[in-house]
Amino acid sequence: MNPHHSRRSSNKSDSKSGHSRPSRSLLACALASCLAMAAPIAFAQGTAATIRGVVSGNAGPAANASVTATNLANGLTRKVQTGADGNYTLAGLPPGTYRIDVSADGQSNTRNVTVAVGQNATLNVSTGGVAETAPAGEATDIDKVTVTASALAEVRTSENATYISTKQIEALPQGTRNFLAFADTVPGVQFVQASNGSTSLRSGAQSSNGINVYIDGVGQKNYVLPGGVGGQDDTRGNPFPQSAIGEYKVITSNYKAEFDQLSSAAITAVTRSGTNEFHGDFFWDHTSEAWRSPTPAEDKSGKKTDSKEEQYGISFGGPIIQDKMHFFVAYEAKEYNTPFTIKPGEGVTEAQLPAQFRPLIGGVNAPFKEDLYFAKVDLSVGDNHYFELTGKYRDETEITGVDGISTVPFGTAKDNSDKRADMRYQYTGDGWINDAHLTYEDGSYNPRANAFGNGYVLTRGDINSTGDKRVLNAGPGENFQDKAQKGYSFQDDLTFTDLQWHGNHTVKMGVKYKVIDISATEQIPYNPQFFYDIGGDLASPYLVRFGAGLPGIADGSVESRNKQFGVYVQDDWEVNDKLTLNLGLRWDYETSDAYTDYRTPADVLTALNSQDPRAPAGQTYRQTLALGGVDLNDYTSSGRERSNFKDAFQPRLGFSYDLNADQRHVIYGGAGRAYDRNIFNNLQLETTKGTFPTYSFRFNQPGHSCAPGVGDCLAFNPGLMSREALEALVAANPNNGREVFLLNNDLKTPYSDQFSIGMRNAVTIGETEWQTDIGISRIVSKDGFAFLLGNRRPDGSFYPAPGAIWGAPFGAGIPGFGRALILGVNGIETRANSLLVKLDKPYTRESGWGVTIAYTFTDGEENRETGESFSLDHPSLAGFGWHDSKGVPRNRLVATGIYDGPWGLTFSGKLTLASPTAYYFVNCSNSGPNDNFCFTDQFKPDETIGFKQLDLAVSKEFDTGAGVKFRIRGDILNVTNARNYNQYDTYAGRLNAPNANFGDHQDGIILPTRMFKLSMGFSW
């Protein structure tokens, strides 16, 4: 973070770029070879379950035995025969409950089992009985008959992975119906809720950008916005209707080669399908200000702000053709009014404000509305063909940016939408399965100013580049953006399940091709912002900032047609009954014409080669930069110097060793590399900022005197207080004030290297079976994107004096242009060493209870504050040094429990505890009158526990006897009303004048306060 000079762009998007182009013939051959082997499809990217094992007859392993899996909910069947050694593999199974029928040597056996999303389970079967080590499972209602099914455990995997069951999603307390909220029950994963109600998911020391979520095998990556998942940047909304999610799996490291476009955790989820019976469900939940405790700011004011959280929805499905064709549809809505408190900054009290601003102070609420739709149709034709067609539509409207010093007029009205469709076809052959997807997506992000006109910014004294002397943003705001992604993709995964050579091999290979159109419009500040001194004339501004499109050139817009290619091969090799090796390699490549075809504008090139007015005669600005170590040949482009990154080869290796070949004690580990993306949010600035520059003019006012006509100083004229007049003012010299962004011609794609080792154990305590998992991991991410300040002083220096470590040369930009030359480079890194401990007793209906405990110890470091790409205070990232990862606690514990109590009541709870995390600040405590010796620093709040929250829920279901069940539920969130502060005084003071309040918490907290939520619903 740079409180003095850092900037965080509000534009959204992402993309890959880099080196020379691969051979087209190589790509064509890879694509053609995969397609040649392909027939059709169904469950890819880790969503399909696999059951494998050995069938034993009277005389040992049974060759040519028949093994059939029948899904008890929809009739889907899979049939295989065992090999000569009695081994079988049932692959491509949608998660669910199956009847396994085995026939060998004239005898047969049947067993019901339940498999989870992406699970590789082992079931060894004897025609004289079932020989398997899975714990007893839960009873499942199928066709009005209670069927008891064993939930098979997956232990022979090299991945750090955890399953989130349907029961956990339905029963555990939660404040929002975001299905990703349960991912933080996994060691190493955090579901983060910001003070403004927005949510995100992150793992380890990396930001949420590295996450990818796969729904039914299709990645939901966002190519326009940060946040990892489509539409999940700075929103209170949910990415998918929770009622349409069956279950999901969280993988924190060493994912197999089929996973693409991520460097952090992978979430693979499967959607619900219709069954052979018609079923439906309706829900409604509600809370308001009357059912919650006040925030600290409300405590001080003695009044709670009106607020509301309401969620409701319906889902239903059933057969179209019994055992063959089914449908499922879901709709969910969220309506929020979230409370915020407006208060002046810079130590100014409400009483010190001029009277006209006081009505803007106090409690306000920000509305939010979301509609989520999902529909699915599946069709089975015989035992070999399976089809699915799914569609999702998400639509959001909300008011954001209203809090602290930002009043309602200054807020942003934001529209956010996401439309996706997936057509898939699975063909099951003799010893092989092909799974293919044809997808479509159309997402858009449209934040606009909540009001239009002239902005009114109240300050105390002069204002610096980041506006940290603002007292109140009292007029229409700055935002105007339009970001979108739209395109098609084809992906195909081919799996061979019956290959034998020195053991048993399951070989999977795949190809992906995608065309995605990315567009970005950014006009910030759209409304002119006029600045007024609270101690001066409140009718006449002393400064104006505004944006305007370059005449005859462009208006802050850019489009790019990106093409993505990906190929992989994965071999899961069962060497023997103890050792399994996972060997994989994938390669990804993406074209991005907005980057590769970019041409540095001629006027910029001319200015770079012109005389530096501050330097000795004959020294050009280019030469000044060269003295400071900046070679402009690395950044200027004629459209031929850049190429796309072609070196994204990603080996992924893993192993598991079953000590006693009984799945009770397994050592596992692995190593792998995963490439993510350069977010278009950053790349597009080279074009948009170059065509919609920001201008700044000072007005000669008392206390802010300047010489009119010199530099950017003007005599104040009320006629300038209109957008049209300001645009006319700069039309003759549009480069004055224009910042220049230049990207490195050799940009690489960010990646992470991952290493882990651990041990899983099945432990029996009394009559209860527990699963334990203890592991350690190291994840190092590199080549993250950053913006550096290119400006240099005439002698090439960056700092103002020898020995200085602070004082960036703002104002030393390109001659005739604005204050700053901004250079886009790679270089952000993170490092995380983690201890991951998991203890799990899965809920079963038979036992009536379940418990999970997840503990994470993380030693995380970063060389730039998480979420910040602008790094303008130093000539390189080395100036920031290494610091503790922002927002990553050293110790974190999440425990959950579900218990079937008396009188048909179900109790559940979730406890989250975390140690304090570090906050960034600029430490100027050793600086005197100047800032030459400031530096980026951190402090941790003086608290033993940095975050604590206990949530409890109780529910009961009533059978009406007419085929309809009614349920009621109450959730108490943050039972202890813990104050989880996230706002602190970060001003440390100056030399010989320390700030006594430094490090003290302020009023900002992570919501919720203690809150009661009532839920009701019907199912039939």
Task: Give the tokens for residue 779.
Answer: 């994840």
What is the CA 837 to chain-centroid distance, rounded? Answer: 23
Mean pLDDT on 143-172? 74
Q: How far apart are CA 137 and CA 908, in angstroms?
A: 20
pLDDT of amino acid 78: 85
DSSP string computed for 612-662:
-TTSPTT-BHHHHHHHTT--GGGT--BSSS-B----EEEEEEEEEEETTSS
CATH class of 48-116+120-151: mainly beta
Q: How far apart are CA 692 and CA 684, in angstroms?
A: 12
| 3-class state of residue 791 by DSSP | coil
pLDDT at 150 over 90: no
pLDDT at 283 over 60: yes
% of the chain residues with pLDDT over 90: 61
pLDDT at 241 over 90: yes
Mean pLDDT on 295-324? 92
Q: What distances in angstroms separate CA 299 from CA 406, 457, 935, 954, one per listed residue?
A: 21, 28, 36, 29
Name the segment(s) of the chain with CATH classification 2.60.40.10: 48-116+120-151
Name the segment(s) of the chain with CATH classification 2.170.130.10: 167-271
878 backbone dihedrals φ, ψ, rounded to 5°: -60, -25
| 3-class state of residue 636 by DSSP | coil
**Where residue 46 falls among pLDDT bands split at 50, 70, 90?**
low
pLDDT of amino acid 548: 87
Task: Give the tokens for residue 802.
Answer: 């020898």
Identify the weakest region by mean pLDDT among 53-62, 166-175, 302-311, 591-600: 53-62
| 3-class state of residue 732 by DSSP | coil
What is the CA 502 to chain-centroid distance, rounded? Answer: 41
Mean pLDDT on 145-155? 59
pLDDT at 342 over 80: yes
pLDDT of amino acid 128: 59
In this structure, what DSSP letter does residue 451 have? S
- Nearest-CA neighbor of 94 among 48, 46, 152, 142? 48
Determine the longest span between alpha carbons in the chain, in angstroms: 103
For residue range 832-883, what is the model confidence (pLDDT) as tens digits? Answer: 999 999 999 999 888 999 999 999 999 999 999 998 999 999 999 999 999 9
% of the chain residues with pLDDT over 70: 92
Q: Are 365 and 306 in contact (CB under 8 A)?
A: yes
Relative to beta strand 919-923, strand 935-939 is: antiparallel
Structure-token match 């998918």, residue found: 240
Helix (H) or strand (E) holding 111: strand 107-115
Q: Buried b vs exposed e over 827-861: b needs ≥16 C-beta within 10 Å?
A: bbbbbbbbbbbbbbbbbbeebebbbbbbbbbbebb
Q: How far apart are CA 580 and CA 657, in angstroms?
A: 6
In this structure, what DSSP letter does residue 726 have? H
Q: Which residues pair with 569 in a beta bridge?
A: 509, 585
Q: Which residue has the higher pLDDT, 972 or 2?
A: 972
Q: How far apart are CA 1004 and CA 983, in angstroms?
A: 5
Q: Which residue has the higher pLDDT, 333 or 130?
A: 333
For residue range 172-183, what is the model confidence (pLDDT) as tens digits? Answer: 999 889 999 999
- Nearest-CA neighbor of 312 among 1017, 970, 966? 1017
**Where residue 464 falls among pLDDT bands split at 50, 70, 90?**
low
pLDDT at 319 over 60: yes
pLDDT of amino acid 657: 96
Contacts of 75 (CB under 8 A, 6+ apart): 276, 322, 323, 324, 380
In this structure, what DSSP letter does residue 166 have? H
For residue range 489-518, what is the model confidence (pLDDT) as tens digits? Answer: 999 999 998 788 998 999 999 999 999 999
pLDDT of amino acid 468: 61
Cis peptide before 525 (omega within 30 of 0): yes
| 3-class state of residue 26 by DSSP | helix
Q: How far apart are CA 511 and CA 565, in angstroms?
A: 8
pLDDT of amino acid 895: 97
Mean pLDDT on 976-990? 89
For residue range 721-752, what is the model confidence (pLDDT) as tens digits? Answer: 998 999 888 887 888 777 899 999 999 999 99
Q: How far apart are CA 874 and CA 789, in angstroms?
A: 7
Mean pLDDT on 593-599? 94
Q: Where are the alpha helices (DSSP H) in 466-517?
A: none
pLDDT of amino acid 203: 94
**Where residue 56 falls among pLDDT bands split at 50, 70, 90?**
confident
Task: Give the tokens for residue 332.
Answer: 């969910």
Mean pLDDT on 898-920? 96
SS3 content of the chain, % helix, strand, coil (to 5): 10, 50, 40
For residue range 652-675, what is the model confidence (pLDDT) as tens digits? Answer: 999 999 999 988 999 999 999 999
Q: In 10 A of CB 454, how many CB atoms?
A: 17
- CATH fold of 167-271, please? Ferric Hydroxamate Uptake Protein; Chain A, domain 1 (2.170.130)
What is the CA 781 to chain-centroid distance, rounded? Answer: 16
pLDDT at 26 over 70: no
For residue range 777-788, what is the model confidence (pLDDT) as tens digits? Answer: 999 999 999 999
Q: In 10 A of CB 365, how many CB atoms?
A: 18
| 3-class state of residue 768 by DSSP | strand
pLDDT at 38 over 70: no
| 3-class state of residue 356 by DSSP | helix
Long-range contacts of 657-662 (CB under 8 A, 24+ apart): 657/578, 657/579, 657/580, 658/155, 658/156, 658/577, 658/578, 658/579, 658/580, 659/578, 661/577, 661/578, 662/133
For residue range 984-1017, what is the model confidence (pLDDT) as tens digits? Answer: 888 888 888 888 889 999 888 898 999 999 999 9
Q: Which residues pair with 459 in a beta bridge?
A: 470, 533
Mean pLDDT on 765-774? 91
pLDDT of amino acid 553: 66
pLDDT at 254 over 90: no
What is the CA 299 to chain-centroid distance, rounded? Answer: 34
pLDDT of amino acid 130: 42
For residue range 109-126, what is the model confidence (pLDDT) as tens digits? Answer: 888 888 888 788 888 888
pLDDT of amino acid 929: 66
pLDDT of amino acid 958: 95
180 backbone dihedrals φ, ψ, rounded to 5°: -70, -10
For residue range 614-626, what is the model confidence (pLDDT) as tens digits? Answer: 999 999 999 999 9
Query: Cα 243–248–249 angle (5° rounding)?
Result: 165
Average pLDDT score over the chain: 88
pLDDT of amino acid 988: 85
Mean pLDDT on 138-144? 37
